[in-house]
Amino acid sequence: MITEQIANISVTTQANVYFDGKCVSHGITLADGTKKSVGVVLPSTLTFSTGAPEIMECVAGSCDYKLAGSDTWVTSFPGEKFSVPGNSKFEIRVGQAYHYICHFG
């Protein structure tokens, strides 16, 4: 199931812009204090580092991802999620805009 709306949040209005504008996101905080980000990755191949564990939820488009220590690219489509351990890295390959929600854990 694709998350289409998140209710009762506060939004950081200034965008986080990474990789020369190839990834743009906004931080959100839920009423219970849970933090997430909502954003888009434009066509590119990028490497992200994590601090906390993350769950990447695809809400539109698709991406291929490869977790640190793996040689296998996996495709994520709308409604699908993938988990990334904390203090790790993952590569993401995007051919068309990939819209996501990043759930920090």
pLDDT tens digit string along 29-54?
A: 999 999 999 999 999 999 999 999 99
- Domain positions in the chain are 24-104
pLDDT score of 93? 98
pLDDT score of 105? 78
> Strand runs (DSSP E) across the chain, as ranges?
9-11, 16-18, 23-30, 35-41, 44-49, 54-60, 63-67, 74-76, 81-84, 89-94, 98-104
Take residue 101 and report the two structure tokens written for it: 């929600």
Question: To the nearest 10°, the Cα dihedral for 69, 102, 24, 87?
Answer: -40
CATH number of 24-104: 2.60.120.10
Low-confidence ranges of the chain (pLDDT < 50): none
pLDDT score of 1? 83
